[in-house]
């Protein structure tokens, strides 16, 4: 049964003092707790349309007619008021501060949670209460969205809202493809709309250094520039850099003034900019210009800093000091992911360091670096944040872990009393393709749809009381290896970023995908009106059609003999995979596709008795970014005895090696034949390190 709607008390103009206001609203607020988000009667609207969905909404009676210019006053500090006015002006919402009786009153209420707010809209005016300036700002974001939905006549209502998590982030990789500060500010505007409060700026990586450092000018004279605009061309073409005045130079960097401008812009939107400076891996660009910091001393030979060399620490701490001077963020992200660690094993300096410090392996050597860097950061009043590899070899004492290889790293960190930010690839990686990869722009050969992002719960109760409070929040990551343009970047960020926002803000009991989907379609239109390029979610096809229904055919459930072995890494459901009736989806990692590396596929299905055959088909896929290739050719043959085979067809591949989108192809024979054993030989294309992925064998 639906609870009765709450009736808002009418404001009394003569006795309109803040105290009375507050008392009434407190009582009202209590009552409102019993009213569900969806409460409605008759003509009252069912939903506010606010995104991310607020925690509590109670509908009142009557309408609030907004004046052309909204006079406002209250407890906000003048600087916060001015920030809100500037922001409102950009949104076309005319606010003016007044000393007289305001229409919109800001009030301080210390009982409201950090960043939370209570927004009371009544025929006589609007009260926006919060315990901090961020809460007031978020209340204004909600008010703005109400005006977009209802125009200047708002329904009377009260919203009591606060974020589920204190860390709600988006990460942008500007190393692989540089994006200028105006683009960053444009995304910050949208982030603020969805109540994000952290922008993680991935400023350095092997493909380009993007921040001016006074003490190391070569970083932006050379390491920020490549003779290849496109990341893949650079990556396969020798991974070189060039001077910024080279006619072929492509790339860029932020001056310190650019950085200050972005930080200040973000601050006014209540977004903290978290800088990331990668170490000890993903650092080819630094080692190209300062090769003495690598184990070999030669440029273009290593991607990891030499940890045995004191000069490495001098460099890193010098850089971090300049970064800390610029960025007020309490967190400084130091990367820590995917160091190859190979050169450390044989480097005399690294070996000497390990011996001196009693470090038993290269994991402990990396941990030695992270701990030293943490001491440096902590001594300057900041905290270290790093990808989950910083757990390997022992976590630094005060570090916070950003969990990306699944959730295990974050959980392990939380169990040992550390904070964690959840950012697992399978729910938060916005570089993954979001819809039919044969149509979508080339992307990482993995798949992440809007509903899959939305369903994510970073801190389910099942993790237990010790873990849940240590999880600070959630972050979406956009890596940009294959995201070369601004439009493409926005296509990947939005609307999945909106789903991340709702995961971070809205309590699970108030989340509802159907409701979210309806709101997101409206948000997409608004984004488009404002010059953004989100993915057209309404045109999404969803999962691969072939994967939706099981197939039943002569080979279903029959035994398969493997003449060549599939990789244990991509075993899918093991030996039954190719005849289990389940065809693969878009994602090679969905445990329906089986993978072979550097090998032909050679398998035989035993149909158990000789029988007439009219069709044999097998699907393969190509995923450029994951080194998954079509076989050069597929031979289909049959046999009565499993020894002497007759070839029915040799089907040649016609997908070019360079083709960048994912492709799914059935290699098939049809005709008339007889046999008991069906053999499929898919020949590898010879590309070293290349995979073949294969799903169901269909025999009719
Ligand atoms: C990562 O995706 N390497 C953090």
| pLDDT, tens digit (0-9, with 9 covering 90-100), for 635-668 | 999 999 999 999 999 999 999 998 989 999 999 9
Q: Distances from the Cα of 572 to the Cαs of 42, 63, 429, 566, 569, in angstroms? A: 53, 58, 22, 9, 8
Q: In degrees rounded to 5, what are phi and psi of residue 86?
A: -60, -45
Burial status of residue 47 (CB atoms within 10 A of its CB: 0-12, 13-18, 19 or more): middle
Ligand 1 atom nearest the C-alpha of 402 is 4
What is the per-residue DSSP string for 258-273?
HHHHHHHHHHHTT-EE
Neighbours of 193 (CB within 10 A): 21
Q: Summarize the chain as % helix, strand, coil (round to 5).
A: 30, 25, 40
Q: Are 574 and 654 in contact (CB under 8 A)?
A: no
Closest CA relative to residue 594, chosen from 580, 574, 564: 574
SS3 label, residue 230: coil
Residue that the structure tokens 């030695």 belong to: 368
Pairing of strands 198-202, 153-161: unpaired
Q: What is the mean pLDDT of residues 536-546?
A: 95
| 83 tagged catalytic | no
Separation of alpha carbons 645 and 680, rounded Å: 11
| 206 CA from centroid of ligand 1 (Å) | 13
- pLDDT in the model for residue 660: 87
Ligand 1 pocket, Cβ-based, cut-off 6 angstroms:
337-338, 387, 404
Write down the pLDDT at residue 228.
Answer: 93
Give the per-residue pLDDT at 443: 86
* Among 135, 156, 143, CA closest to 45: 156
Ramachandran region of residue 581, left (φ > 0), alpha (ψ -120 to 50) or beta?
left
Distance CA 467, CA 418 (A): 9
State the pLDDT confidence band at 45, using cuts at 50, 70 and 90.
low
Q: For residue 14, what are the contacts with CB-CB under 8 A and spacing of at least 6?
A: none
The whole-angstrom separation of Cα 3 and Cα 598 is: 63
Confidence of residue 19 (pLDDT cuts 50, 70, 90): very low
pLDDT score recorded for residue 276: 98
Contacts of 233 (CB under 8 A, 6+ apart): none
Alpha carbon distances (Å) from 650 to 562, 616, 656, 668, 690: 19, 12, 18, 9, 21
Could you tell me which of 556, 570, 481 has the C-alpha nearest to residue 236?
481
- Of residues 661, 659, 648, 649, the one with CA closest to residue 685: 659
186: tokens are 């444009």
Q: How far is CA 311 from the centre of its chain?
A: 34
Determine the atom of ligand 1 nearest the C-alpha atom of 479: 2
Digit-coded pLDDT (tens) for 153-188:
999 999 999 999 999 999 999 999 999 999 999 999
List pLDDT tens digits, range 465-505. Answer: 999 999 999 999 999 999 999 999 999 999 999 999 999 99
pLDDT grade for 46, boundaries at 50, 70 and 90:
confident
Closest CA to 601 of 516, 683, 485: 683
Model confidence pLDDT, tens digit, residues 201-251: 999 999 999 999 999 999 999 999 999 999 999 998 989 999 999 999 999
User: If you measure from the C-alpha of residue 278 to the centroid of ligand 1, how many angstroms do you get, rounded to a whole number?
Assistant: 11
Residue 657 is given by DSSP the state T
Extract the tokens encoding 169: 């982030």
Locus of tokens 């990891």: 304
**pTM, to two decimals:** 0.91
Is the confidence at residue 524, as pLDDT, over 50? yes
Which among 480, 518, 504, 554 is positioned nearest to 251, based on CA atoms?
A: 480
202, 270, 282, 510: the active-site residue: 282
What backbone phi and psi angles, to 5 degrees, belong to 394?
105, 125
Which residue, among 555, 587, 550, 557, has the nearest Cα to 570 in the 3D structure?
587
Write out pLDDT tens, residues 373-400.
999 999 999 999 999 999 999 999 999 9
Closest approach atom of ligand 1 to CA 338: 3
- Average pLDDT rounded to a whole number, residues 65-87: 95
Q: Which residue has the tokens 């379609």?
A: 521
The pick from 282, 401, 430, 479 for probing ligand 1's pocket by mutation, whose C-beta has the most ligand atoms within 8 angstroms, reads: 479
Q: Whose CA is nearest to atom 1 of ligand 1?
A: 337
Ligand 1 centre distance from Cα of residue 476 (Å): 12
Using the mean position of ligand 1's atoms as its centre, give its distance from the Cα of residue 89 in Å: 38
List of residues 6+ apart from 636 with CB closer than 8 A:
616, 618, 647, 648, 649, 650, 651, 667, 668, 669, 678, 679, 680
Predicted confidence (pLDDT) at residue 516 exceeds the cutoff of 70:
yes
Adjacent-strand bridge partners of 622: 663
The rounded Å distance from CA 416 to ligand 1 centre is: 22
User: Active site residue: 148, 250, 322, 338, which one?
Assistant: 338
For the chain, the average pLDDT equals: 93
Residue 606 has pLDDT above 60, yes or no: yes
Tokens representing residue 676 in the block: 């008991």
Quick one: average pLDDT of 82-93? 94
Eight-state DSSP code of residue 624: G
Q: Record the tokens describing residue 557, joined without a space.
A: 């459930």
Contact criterion met (CB below 8 Å) for 610 and 673: no
Return the closest-CA partner of residue 262 out of 250, 274, 276. Answer: 274
The closest alpha carbon to 444, from 415, 408, 471, 483, belongs to 483
Residue nearest to atom 2 of ligand 1 (CA): 404
Token digits for 219? 């970083």
DSSP state of 41: -
488 noted as active-site residue: no
Task: Using pLDDT thresholds of 50, 70 and 90, give the confidence band for residue 12.
Answer: very low
The reply to whether 173 belongs to the active site is no
Q: What is the pLDDT of residue 627?
A: 94
Q: Which two three-digit tokens encode residue 378? A: 């902590």
Provide, rounded to the nearest whole percent, the portion of the chain with pLDDT above 70.
94
Q: Count how many Cα atoms sit within 13 Å of the Cα of residue 13 in the half-sphere of its side chain.
A: 3
Nearest CA to ligand 1 atom 3: 337
């Amino acid at each position: 049964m639906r609870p009765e709607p709450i009736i808002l008390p009418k404001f009394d103009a003569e006795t309109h003092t803040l105290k009375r206001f507050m008392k009434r609203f407190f009582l009202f607020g209590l009552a409102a707790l019993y009213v569900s988000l969806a409460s409605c009667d008759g003509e009252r609207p069912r939903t506010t349309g606010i995104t991310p969905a607020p925690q509590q909404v109670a509908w009142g009676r009557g309408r609030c007619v907004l004046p052309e210019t909204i006079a406002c006053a209250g407890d906000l500090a003048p600087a916060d008021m001015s920030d809100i006015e500037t922001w409102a002006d950009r949104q076309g919402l005319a606010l003016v501060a007044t000393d007289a009786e305001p229409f919109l009153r800001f009030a301080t209420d210390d009982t409201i949670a950090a960043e939370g707010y209570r927004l009371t809209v009544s025929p006589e005016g609007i009260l926006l209460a919060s315990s901090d300036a961020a809460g007031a700002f978020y209340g204004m974001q909600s008010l703005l969205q109400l005006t977009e939905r209802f125009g200047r006549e708002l329904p009377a209502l009260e919203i009591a809202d606060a974020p589920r998590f204190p860390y709600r982030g988006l990460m942008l990789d500007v190393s692989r493809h540089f994006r200028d500060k105006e683009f960053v500010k444009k995304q910050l505007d949208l982030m603020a709309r969805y109540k994000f409060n952290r922008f993680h700026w991935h400023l350095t990586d092997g493909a380009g250094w993007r921040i001016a450092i006074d003490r190391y000018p070569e970083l932006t004279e050379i390491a920020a520039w490549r003779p290849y605009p496109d990341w893949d061309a650079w990556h396969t073409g020798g991974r070189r850099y060039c001077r910024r005045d080279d006619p072929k130079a492509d790339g860029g960097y932020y001056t310190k003034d650019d950085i200050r401008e972005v930080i200040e812009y973000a601050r006014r939107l209540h977004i903290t900019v978290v800088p990331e400076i990668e170490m000890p891996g993903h650092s080819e660009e630094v080692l190209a210009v300062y090769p003495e910091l690598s184990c070999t001393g030669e440029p273009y030979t290593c991607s990891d800093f030499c940890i045995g060399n004191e000069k490495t620490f001098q460099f890193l701490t010098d850089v971090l000091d300049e970064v800390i001077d610029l960025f007020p963020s309490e967190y400084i992200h130091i990367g820590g992911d995917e160091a190859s660690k190979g050169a450390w094993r044989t480097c005399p300096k690294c070996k000497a360091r390990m011996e001196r410090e009693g470090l038993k392996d290269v994991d402990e050597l990396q941990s030695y670096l992270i701990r030293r860097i943490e001491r440096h950061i902590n001594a300057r009043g900041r905290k270290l944040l790093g990808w989950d590899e910083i757990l390997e070899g022992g976590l630094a004492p005060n570090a916070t872990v950003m969990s990306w290889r699944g959730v295990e790293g974050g959980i392990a960190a939380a169990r040992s009393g550390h904070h964690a930010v959840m950012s697992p690839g399978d729910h938060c990686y916005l570089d993954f393709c979001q819809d039919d990869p044969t149509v979508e722009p080339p992307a990482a050969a993995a798949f992440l749809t809007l509903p899959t992002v939305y369903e994510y719960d970073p801190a389910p109760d099942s993790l237990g009381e010790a873990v849940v409070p240590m999880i600070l929040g959630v972050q979406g990551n956009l890596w940009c290896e294959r995201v070369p343009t601004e439009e493409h970047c926005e296509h990947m960020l939005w609307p999945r970023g909106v789903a991340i926002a709702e995961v971070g803000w809205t309590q699970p009991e108030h989340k509802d995908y159907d409701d979210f989907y309806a709101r997101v379609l409206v948000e997409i239109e608004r984004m488009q009106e404002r010059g953004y390029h989100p993915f057209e979610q309404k045109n999404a096809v969803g999962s691969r059609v072939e994967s939706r229904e099981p197939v039943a055919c002569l080979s279903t459930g029959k035994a398969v003999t493997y003449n060549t072995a599939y990789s244990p890494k991509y075993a899918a459901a093991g030996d039954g995979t190719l005849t289990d009736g389940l065809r693969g989806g878009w994602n090679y990692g969905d445990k329906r596709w089986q993978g072979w590396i550097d090998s032909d596929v050679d398998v035989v299905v035993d149909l158990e008795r000789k029988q007439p055959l009219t069709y044999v088909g097998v699907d393969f896929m190509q995923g450029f970014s994951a080194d998954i290739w079509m076989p050069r050719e597929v031979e289909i043959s049959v046999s009565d005895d499993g020894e002497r085979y007759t070839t029915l067809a040799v089907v040649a591949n016609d997908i070019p090696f360079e083709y960048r989108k994912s492709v799914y192809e059935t290699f098939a024979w049809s005709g008339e034949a007889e046999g008991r054993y069906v053999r499929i030989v898919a020949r590898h294309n010879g590309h070293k390190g290349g995979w073949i992925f294969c799903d169901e064998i269909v025999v009719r």
